[in-house]
Structure 1
Amino acid sequence: MLFNDFRAFMAPYIHQPLSVAYSGGMDSHVLLHLLWRLREQHPFMQIGAVHVHHGLSPNADQWQSHCERVCQALGIALTSRRVKVLMKGRQSLEAQAREARYQAIDEAVGTDTAVLLGQHQRDQLESFLLQLKRGAGPRGLSAMADSQRSGDRLYLRPLLQQPPSSLRQYAQEFALQWVEDESNLHTGFERNFLRHEIVPLLEARWPHIGSTVARSARLCAEQQTLLDECTSGHLARLRQKDGSLCLKGLVGFSLSWQRQIVRLWLLDAGLPVPTEKQLEQIIRQAMQAREDAAPSVKVANWQVRRFQQRLYLTGSIVNTMPEELIWRGEKVFVLPDGRRLEFTPGYKGGESNEILLNIAQEDSVAVCFARLNDRFTPAGSRHSKPLKQWLKLWRVPPWQRSQLPLIYLNHRLVAVLGLEGPELADTEGNKPGWLRIRLAGSGKTLPS
């Protein structure tokens, strides 16, 4: 029965590479064995396993050796990764270990590989209760999805609808051997407390609570999907080309819709779900702060800022930009904020984040930052003004201005990369000295 359910679930995915997140415990061993049996029926399948060695247990080396023996016996390639979990901030050790595990898995397998996770119905019940304890809404109460994308990675949970008794019965039927993580008995961890102290009481009183909560999670997920579809339409009308959010349009919605739109705006940018308090701060400060104020609210490692009736999302401002970079034929300059300046000889361009220069052999090209008092004449203009006046006129947010790469040709400011370049009227000529300068990577200071 379990194998039939597994085979039906996996039918759409058998033609892509698959890898099991294999800890050596019973759940992941059952999952690995099911996948091995499925490959016996479809020999063309590309399957593998990945094991993460946390180093948190004195038995971790033995667990890795166990995983290696099992995979060798099944003829499944195993990739192992070692990680160090260091306590930091207010995040729990459990959460940090989980974060390190997913990062290691993501780095260990190709982006076209779907990763199979061994969570089952009781894990779903625990996740639901944890989210309920945290005061989550429909998104959180959706708990875990049986298929989920995170960036380019597809995660699959083929056993999510299965009670743990089905997995144990299968493991005993095939005489599977697995390891037991002693930390699973420590009720100091929230999930373990639920598993050993709370869930058994609930199951004793309501034997089918695992399946009913799983149904509630699916219904919450369905409602959240519908809500996101509706919210996405509103967000698309409010989001500007640079990723900022139009406040004039936002104030036309009710407070509940404002929360939904801002929440989805942040999630689309890759941030974690904001707390209710953070949402209230963003909306209150954005709407009620005086006109000349520059409110800022921290969400994770990012800042939500207001400027010219728009909301912007920025990372930590990098104040160590180089004073001057002289181009001597290099292909790439890597900036402290992660952005790259790419230099390519030849005429090829047209994108907003690149410029074209026609240079002679004796010309000098330099990239500078924060020289806002230097005079600049934009393309098509007859007037020269200090750059800071143009940036103010163009409504460039103040925190971005010192981060803009300024291009100098023979010590004269000729372009602001990403905003204004030189006249290109003669680009169709036969001059041989064309240089393409391109800004790549979003960095952490510009809007997402």
Structure 2
Amino acid sequence: MTRPDTIRKELSKRLLSRLSTWRDAAGWRIAFSGGLDSTVLLHLLADLAQHHRLPPLSAVHVHHGLQAVAASWPGHCRQMCQILGVPFQVIEVQVRPGASLEQAARDARYAAFDEVLLPGEVLLAAQHRDDQAETLMFRLLRGAGVKGLAAMPAQRVLGRGHLFRPLLDEPRALLEAYAKEQGLSWIEDPSNKDTRFSRNYLRNHVLPMLTARWPQAIASFNRSAAHLAEAQGLLDELALQDLAQAEIPCPWPWLNVPSLELAPLEALSDARQRNALRHWLGPLTRLPDSDHWAGWNSLRDAGPDGRPIWRLADGQLHRAEGRIWWLSGIWLKDVAGSQHWSMASQPLHLPGNGMLEILGEIPRGGLHVHYRQGGEVLDVPDRGRRDLKRLLNEKGVPVFLRGRLPLLYRGEQLLAVANLPGLDADPRGDWRLHWQPPTNDHSLR
């Protein structure tokens, strides 16, 4: 039988080795639920901090309030942290109702961690080898692709910092042995036995049956997840190579809307197209499963006069002027109306549409700003009066942008169209109309 001090020394040594990459982090925050796994991680780190120079330690407990019994958990966690001398913080969250309570609680928890992490800090989570096997099985049953079957990554970006799982290669049995030998107490969540939840069913029924027949099942699942993670890494590298061919700057450098040139994507096989788009759209929106990509095919194959749109969970993909454009948030809301610009020497804030300013000598007369309604004409130097729609066609302005371009009027006369060379200034060059479009945080997250 392994001696208690041997378990502690072995775990501490492996933990310190895995954390070596993060020794210069601004701080280590421990995701502390009070359960077995996070209790062991907290105890190990507090012990290591007594003998090694580590980043500042602190613990974060997310209180969901989903069970009456959970009301006592923050107090238990606070007492444990006081004993170990680790600063402690409780964050209360509201779990949005939905089809999956498990997923909703997880989303709320990681959103809280995302908010609390400061630049350069690392959130240390205590998921272990059994959790990884469980995740792989759960995602396999849901028909996940390579990325999903890679299960939980050991590390990833989270908010302004990083998430790291230093116990992912350790079996739960070893963590429980450590906790018992060290005399630790932890919270037993009664909901973990509720097999109406899919993960609990796998944990309490399926995995024990599999390991009874194949004792190495959990280790094998983890090995498969590692192989799939490596395969996903190769797919990511391929996506970056393919996207590099499509990331040709758009003609409007002031337009802060993510976009790609379509032709290089069309030259790829269907599988490589989907791989590249998953990589590009992943930070922008939740993606459909493999059975619901018909929207991409329709957008890609639309005729040159078409205006196809692929509607996704968090926004829309538009096709215009040989490019695809990602629109979400404020870019999906129409702008309308007019504004008098009595103080044209000052920037004009456009509701839901950024800011407008005149650079140079301010033109005389009562100025006001409109948006396109149709039928507008503009005097163009050396060309005379021209229909605005035709001018926008000549400039190759995407359809989604045309209704947002601010138009400067003096009385009934259209003087300029913001940001379009040749249309945004007076003929003598005394002034120019400059528009700063709205920043769409959802498109740039």
- Pair in the same fold by TM > 0.5: yes
The equivalent residue for 1:13 is 22
Q: How far apart, in 2, do the equivalents of 1:62 and 1:418 lie?
A: 62
1:22 corresponds, among 27, 32, 35, to 32
Deviations, residues 376-416 of structure 1 (Å, cap 9, x unaligned): 467x8755534333222222222232233445678854342
Q: 1:98 to 1:262 in 2, by over 3 A?
A: same
Q: 1:437 to 1:397 in 2, by over 3 A?
A: closer
1:145 corresponds, among 143, 150, 153, to 153
The equivalent residue for 1:3 is 12
Q: 1:369 to 1:132 in 2, by over 3 A?
A: same
Give the CA deviation at 1:425: 9.1
Give the CA deviation at 1:147: 1.1
Q: 1:406 to 1:190 in 2, by over 3 A?
A: farther
C-alpha contact (below 8 Å) 1:375/1:413 kept by paired residues? no
Q: 1:265 to 1:383 in 2, by over 3 A?
A: farther
* 1:401 aligned onto 2:402: yes
Q: Which runs of 4 or more aligned residues in structure 1 lie more than 6 Å from their structure 2 counterparts after TM superposition?
A: 329-332, 361-365, 423-427, 433-436
The equivalent residue for 2:439 is 441
Given residue 278 of structure 2, which amino acid in structure 1 is its aligned partner?
Answer: R
Q: 1:67 to 1:359 in 2, by over 3 A?
A: farther
The equivalent residue for 2:263 is 248
* 1:220 aligned onto 2:223: no
Give the CA deviation at 1:246: 3.2
The equivalent residue for 1:41 is 51
Given residue 48 of structure 1, which amino acid in structure 2 is its aligned partner?
Answer: S
Give the CA deviation at 1:227: 1.9
Moved more, 258-267 or 16-25: 258-267
C-alpha contact (below 8 Å) 2:321/2:397 kept by paired residues? no
Deviations, residues 242-286 of structure 1 (Å, cap 9, x unaligned): 44333333332222222222222322x432343112323312x13
Q: How far apart, in 2, do the equivalents of 1:120 and 1:327 lie?
A: 64
Q: How far apart, in 2, do the equivalents of 1:387 and 1:121 lie?
A: 63
* 1:299 aligned onto 2:312: yes
C-alpha contact (below 8 Å) 2:407/2:414 kept by paired residues? no
Q: How far apart, in 1, do the equivalents of 2:428 and 2:20 lie?
A: 57
* 1:97 aligned onto 2:89: no
Deviations, residues 206-263 of structure 1 (Å, cap 9, x unaligned): 1222122111111111111112212211111123324433333333222222222222
C-alpha contact (below 8 Å) 2:114/2:159 kept by paired residues? no
SS of the residue 1:237 aligns to: helix
C-alpha contact (below 8 Å) 1:278/1:299 kept by paired residues? no
Q: 1:80 to 1:251 in 2, by over 3 A?
A: same
2:114 corresponds, among 84, 106, 115, to 106
SS of the residue 2:103 aligns to: helix
RMSD value over aligned CA atoms?
A: 3.2
SS of the residue 1:145 aligns to: coil
Moved more, 110-119 or 361-370: 361-370
Percent identical among aligned pairs is 31
Deviations, residues 92-150 of structure 1 (Å, cap 9, x unaligned): 11111111111111112313211111111111001111111121222111111111124
Matches within 5 A, 1:239-388: 239-242=247-250, 243-267=258-282, 269-283=283-297, 285-315=298-328, 317-320=332-335, 323-324=338-339, 326=341, 333=349, 335-336=351-352, 340-341=354-355, 357-360=359-362, 367-371=369-373, 373-376=375-378, 383-388=384-389
| Structure 2 gap segments, 5+ residues each | 1-9, 251-257
SS of the residue 1:148 aligns to: strand
The equivalent residue for 2:193 is 185
Given residue 38 of structure 1, which amino acid in structure 2 is its aligned partner?
Answer: L
Given residue 280 of structure 1, which amino acid in structure 2 is its aligned partner?
Answer: A
Q: 1:304 to 1:172 in 2, by over 3 A?
A: same
Q: How far apart, in 1, do the equivalents of 2:44 and 2:337 lie?
A: 55
Given residue 316 of structure 2, which amino acid in structure 1 is its aligned partner?
Answer: Q
C-alpha contact (below 8 Å) 1:124/1:144 kept by paired residues? yes
SS of the residue 2:274 aligns to: helix
- Normalised by the length of structure 1, the TM-score is 0.83
SS of the residue 1:159 aligns to: coil
Moved more, 34-43 or 133-142: 34-43
The equivalent residue for 2:84 is 74
Q: 1:252 to 1:86 in 2, by over 3 A?
A: closer
C-alpha contact (below 8 Å) 1:372/1:386 kept by paired residues? no
Give the CA deviation at 1:164: 0.2
Q: 1:70 to 1:369 in 2, by over 3 A?
A: farther
C-alpha contact (below 8 Å) 1:278/1:297 kept by paired residues? no
C-alpha contact (below 8 Å) 2:133/2:221 kept by paired residues? yes
